[in-house]
């Protein structure tokens, strides 16, 4: 797993030194790191005051970047997914439907293997009843975005949008369901050969 994908909580830390990025972007990344630390450690009861203190910024600066905790959490999820999918969203997938499903599927498995994703899943599940907007935001920024990428592949292959959506969700669950569940529950991955699993799943849906 590459360093660029460890974007939230562990690798981004508030510092007083310039890294060549605009200060506003440095502060945004510091806030995301602090919020990830607080949400995964304290839970969604973590206050904006606590997040601002952890990030080393004022509350005014925090609110200038994120208007509330819901928006902040969605940004954390989006940044995590960006680390795995931004490159394939910004470039044209190549090859036939099998090749394109394999490219996207590889990224899905990498994302679902990320321990921070497991932590997010546990945090979201614990708050789903009392803070449904948290799970809504997670669903949009995470699973919804993944299935959307797969849906586009099936639409370009000739399926209607509704058919493509159903097939995309089936593909995502068939491919990543066991890994997602085991990651969320702190269990070892039941799929011992992910390359073979990916190939077999793509063959079923291509």
Gyration radius of the chain over CA positions: 18
The backbone torsions φ and ψ at residue 95, rounded to the nearest 5 degrees and listed phi first, read 90, -175
How far CA 52 is from CA of 31, 70, 133, 179, in Å, comes to 7, 15, 22, 34
Q: Torsion over CA of 131, 74, 54 and 46, rounded to 10 degrees?
A: 0
The one-digit pLDDT tens for each residue of the chain (206 residues) are 444 333 334 333 333 333 445 668 889 989 999 988 888 777 778 889 999 999 999 999 999 999 888 888 888 888 888 888 877 765 667 789 999 999 999 999 999 888 888 888 888 888 788 888 888 888 888 899 889 999 999 999 999 999 999 999 999 999 999 998 898 888 988 999 999 999 999 999 99
pTM: 0.77
Residue 91: the pLDDT is: 65
DSSP string, 30-59: HHHHHHHHHHHHT-TT--HHHHHHHHT--H
């Amino acid at each position: 797993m590459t360093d660029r994908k460890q974007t939230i909580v562990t690798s981004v830390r508030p510092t007083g030194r310039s890294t060549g990025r605009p200060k506003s972007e440095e502060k945004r990344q510091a806030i995301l790191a602090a919020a990830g630390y607080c949400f995964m450690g304290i839970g969604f009861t973590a206050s904006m005051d606590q997040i601002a203190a952890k990030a080393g910024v004022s509350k005014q600066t925090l609110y200038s970047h994120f208007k509330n905790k819901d928006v902040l959490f969605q940004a954390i999820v989006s940044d995590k997914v960006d680390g795995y999918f931004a490159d394939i969203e910004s470039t044209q997938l190549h090859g036939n439907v099998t090749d394109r499903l394999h490219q996207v599927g590889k990224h899905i498995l990498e994302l679902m293997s990320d321990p921070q994703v497991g932590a997010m899943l546990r945090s979201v599940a614990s708050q789903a009843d009392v803070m449904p907007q948290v799970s809504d935001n997670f669903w949009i920024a995470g699973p919804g975005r993944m299935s959307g990428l797969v849906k586009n592949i099936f639409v370009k292959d000739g399926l209607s949008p509704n058919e493509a959506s159903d097939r995309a969700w089936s593909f995502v669950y068939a491919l990543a369901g066991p890994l997602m569940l085991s990651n969320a529950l702190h269990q070892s991955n039941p799929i011992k050969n992910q390359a073979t699993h990916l190939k077999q799943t793509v063959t079923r849906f291509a």
